[in-house]
Amino acid sequence: MIAKETAKKILGDLPLTAELYWLLRQNSEPPVGGYHLDNLEKYLPQWLEQAQAVKTDAQEPKRVLVFCVLRYWLEHTLITSLALAALGHDVTLTYLPYAHWKKHINRFDSRRQDMYVKSVVEQVKPFIGIESLLDAPQARILPAELAAQMPAAAFRDTQYSLLREDIDPESVLYYLRQERNEIHARRMLAYMQKQRPDVVVVPNGSILEFGITYRVARYLGIPVNTYEFGEQDSRMWLAQNDDVMRQDTSALWAARGKTPLTTIEKERIEKLFASRQGANLWQNFARQWQDAPKVGGSAVRRDLGLDSRPLVLIPANVLGDSLTLGRHLFSESMTEWMTRTIKFFGQHPEAQLVIRVHPGERVGWGLSVYDILLERFKEFPENVRVLPADSTINTYDLVDAADFGLVFTTTTGMEMALIGKPVIVSGQTHYRGKGFTLDADSWDGFFELLEKVLQNPRVYYLSEEQVELAWRYAYRFFFEYPQPYPWRVPNIWKSVENWSIERVFSPEGIERFGNTFRYLVGDPIDWSLSRLEDESANE
């Protein structure tokens, strides 16, 4: 095995060796450890034919650079690139053929994988440009401003890869991410300086090579739009010249925050909240975090052995999620914030604390918050309960039972405000500073707020005006912040069956998704638009 890997290392740097091997021996299959594109091979001819059939001329055509890495993003960015080209734009999709982001891949296998990917995707030329960056020229050095961002990027990528915040910056994984990020930054810098696209489109924009692409575009002053997917089918989060995972809703709130909810809008958000409480799916929301139905706050207090002392709830975020990483304000991390909070309650037996580990951690690949906290405490204080991700207790029963909440960035904090419960926010979350939360900016400020609210939680219950504001914000966030979009990661093949390119370019599809395609290539987002008619189509 060692001899084989050594041979691959040597051959990987010799011209044409991997390519000849693939042509002679690979039989049109990816190497072991690569990824298959069977579905893409099936659908791509149809996509191309339909895109060519519906192609129009754009009034202001733009040179669009799209970047991706990993199989599922290659699939998604390909159909997106074809759609943008059908709208009359000059689109180039660039990619890296890597199957893994946290494992070293020798160049011999990378080049073979690249040959396989090219054999599948090059049929789209010349309708769109498509280029592998595996052997693209690199800038000789990184400018100081970009070079200074590389250690933090590698640190965040390692956190994401291990799903934990306390990582070893001397680890093999950290050095792998640092090496790949620096190489990609030099590639993208050289590429963008030469091509100077009008706009860059990249998924996520926060982690891995996606985040590096975003940072290089920002450094060069090239408009860059990032996108991701949340819980809803036929919706995407979209940010212009910003990391979409920051979920900056300030422009939306400025445009729509003072507009009261209509009766229909209020009914819609109330139904959504009721479905989340009751562990049900609703309309186009595809994710169901709660398994257990509600039994009531009193029953939960009894089941957990809680007494009449004030009860405080921490609904934890998913550890390592790119919605969580880097969102600390005064703590080093969410884990440190929870650790110090547990110690605080250990010294305050007059109150009780329940930490509900996010149910979403059941589908993760790393240590749970529960495991990490056990590493630090071995045994929790008498007045502290930590519920693991697979707990059968419904989070919203805990919301009902609690006197108030402490949150890092989780949306549950916003939902507590909907029923008038006070919430102390300690991280950079999208609903912070919107008028219905208590926001901590320092350790001293956090503990001071905590002690004040513990003395008499009901004094801090939200006013009717604040509750109405919370409902208004929740509606804007769930129904107006996401942009209508036909194809979603994951489950792209299901959405493609529902929304072919032909259907997307029909009058029905253009009316529904046309604005989002324009926003993707840089037209300013019009946050004044209501999404009510579009939402009604899902009922």
Mean pLDDT of 136-156: 97
pLDDT digits (tens, 9 = 90+) for 248-304: 999 999 999 999 999 999 999 999 888 777 543 334 433 434 445 555 678 888 889
Up-side HSE of residue 366: CA atoms within 13 Å toward CB?
A: 17
Window from 14-23, 143-152, 334-343 with minimum mean pLDDT: 14-23
Instruction: Give pLDDT, residue 242.
Output: 97
Q: How far apart are CA 91 and CA 345, in angstroms?
A: 56
Q: How far apart are CA 392 and CA 356, in angstroms?
A: 11
Task: Specify whether the CB–CB gap between 290 and 359 falls below 8 A.
Answer: yes
Paired tokens of 203: 């998924």
Instruction: Give pLDDT, residue 9.
Output: 52
Instruction: Give pLDDT, residue 283.
Output: 41
Instruction: Give pLDDT, residue 457.
Output: 95
Phi, psi of 319 (to 5 degrees): -70, 130
Q: How far apart are CA 318 and CA 326, in angstroms?
A: 13
Q: What band does 381 get if pLDDT is binned at 50, 70 and 90?
A: very high
How much is the CA Rg of the chain, to the nearest whole Å? 25
Q: How far apart are CA 205 and CA 241, in angstroms?
A: 10
Window from 33-37, 358-362, 368-372, 486-490 with minimum mean pLDDT: 358-362
Local structure of residue 424 (DSSP, 8 states):
E
Mean of pLDDT over the chain: 89
Instruction: Give pLDDT, residue 280.
Output: 39
Q: How far apart are CA 382 and CA 353, in angstroms?
A: 10
Q: How far apart are CA 242 and CA 238, in angstroms?
A: 9
CA-based nearest residue to 482, from 524, 525, 521: 525
Instruction: Give pLDDT, residue 228.
Output: 96
**Cis omega (within 30 of 0) on the bond before 126?**
yes
Burial of 419 (0-12, 13-18, 19+ CB in 10 A): middle
Start-end of H helices in 13-70 = 17-21, 38-54
Mean pLDDT of 424-451: 97
Find residue 387's DSSP bridge partners. Answer: 356
Q: Which residue has the tokens 């390692």?
A: 158
Mean pLDDT of 15-21: 59
Phi, psi of 312 (to 5 degrees): -115, 135
Mean pLDDT of 35-46: 94
Mean pLDDT of 225-249: 94
Q: How far apart are CA 233 and CA 485, in angstroms?
A: 8
CA-based nearest residue to 78, from 507, 512, 501, 513: 501
Task: Specify whether the CB–CB gap between 313 and 457 falls below 8 A.
Answer: no
Find residue 225's DSSP bridge partners. Answer: 201, 240
Top mean pLDDT of 216-230, 288-302, 488-502 is at 216-230
Q: Please state, as a whole number, how many other Cβ atoms lie within 10 Å of the Cβ of residue 57.
A: 7
Which positions ≥6 away from 296 have C-beta within 8 Å?
Answer: 397, 400
CA-based nearest residue to 199, from 526, 527, 517: 517
Window from 13-22, 365-374, 440-449 with minimum mean pLDDT: 13-22
Local structure of residue 328 (DSSP, 8 states):
B
Instruction: Give pLDDT, residue 366.
Output: 64
Instruction: Give pLDDT, residue 488.
Output: 94
Q: How far apart are CA 116 and CA 30, in angstroms?
A: 6
Q: What band does 538 get if pLDDT is binned at 50, 70 and 90?
A: very low
Q: How far apart are CA 78 and CA 10, in angstroms?
A: 33
Mean pLDDT of 178-203: 98
Distance of alpha carbon 92 from the chain centroid: 24
Domains and CATH numbers, the chain: 1-135 (no CATH), 256-480 (3.40.50.2000)
CA-based nearest residue to 406, from 275, 310, 517: 310
Window from 280-284, 376-380, 451-455 with minimum mean pLDDT: 280-284
Local structure of residue 305 (DSSP, 8 states):
T
